[in-house]
Structure 1
């Protein structure tokens, strides 16, 4: 009898504690609601449309009434030689952005954290964040002007005796311009998480290193970077989810028919298939393939991090 009473009392104590937690954090729970609704409405609810990839969609009959097509659309995709060119462009541009763009926010955060002047540091941080909030429609127009025949870049080229080049219409230079402008737009915003991680490092570690005679670069290499490794690992794993997202907004606003051979990516191809040519089933099949590849890459990179002896830095 006493055991059952004790168990009941423990259960009541647990319930009371849960109620206390709810009351204590109720404002935070309420703040979660808009974010949860956003993902439910715009990310989970539309997943029903994935069935279009396995149907011959007819607008008048709707998703439910359209006949099943099995894997027909996937067979059409993989038998189309142009799709493989689009896939190649996507992978090349994505990996260029990853290889050259991923380290920039880390380096920026490390270097800026060494500046002692707090006002100057805040000013540089604020200026670096601004491009993130500018639409690619606007940025695209700015870069078209900068890289035009009469723009500042070609003006400098002509000053050194070179011939002007229309960089955004030349397939030799378009990918380079794409990567550089992407880094410019995102490195400041991407550095926020690294600034936060650096700020959380115990200052006593740096003080001890100074006493031992370590300079700024040694403190960076032997304290800052090792302490950032968990964050870097997680960000690398998460970035692999978007390895087939080469940047629709940017490319759509900057490319043209002259550079289709090197700039046409999966997202722009899906846009033309789905919204221009109204091949909704084909567009859905391509999108599903892209999501599957992203899922496989996340698992692969997470596994790779574990094999490298960084189990604590993996997502799961």
Structure 2
């Protein structure tokens, strides 16, 4: 399997340059087209099955004009529907409901509603999750309704992480060596989070059911004593492909989940006015979607201290 080092590609906007010739005093003003503002949803929910409840945190922003940071926004409503997928009857929609509320006004972070000492408890218990557990995220924002659909994606633990002493391109890199064992006789996808906004996607096309070891190289020599927390996330093919596209089109400016590239379409669609709950691909409205992604994935972590 080809394991590649993540390379962040910088997007350069070429603008005409005004040269200060003494015989010309005209100033050329360049007006950039103002891009369409889109809702940005960081909906990657990481699940630790050892915990009692799923740590749901849906973060929302709005895309901004060139050179400016995305701005935090608020939702009119947000809810997650949870149920077991029924392959024999896809119209069987017997789902539970988890209402989401903003943690603090103006934070743009939404979590299941929970008021201690009352009957209000919309937290999702991990004991009910398996590979057939289906989730729907439905949110309202500025008069538009958005929806996303995903299945829970289990994963395998990391067998071990060690520090290597090899380099890939220069002498200032830091190598970590990761080992994990693939689930046999299944088509599996994995996403590794190496911290600092660095991610790597791996599939088992050539390693089905085998223990697999690979090296990952950080771009700089990390200081001794640096604590690295490395995660393996479960993924389906759609989420795997989404991460692959993001890694090709984004730079390290806060993480691929924080500032999704405008050219990468996720799985959160504008369903305003649609009355068919099974339509989540907007066949007739391909340009109506939010940036970002909604996924519920199992996570295993390991830490290593750089020597």
Asked which structure has the greater RCO (Cα within 8 Å, sep 6+), the reply is: 1
TM-score by length of structure 1 reads 0.23
Point out the structure with the larger strand share: 2
Q: Which has the higher helix share?
A: 1
User: TM-score of the superposition, structure 2-length normalised?
Assistant: 0.23
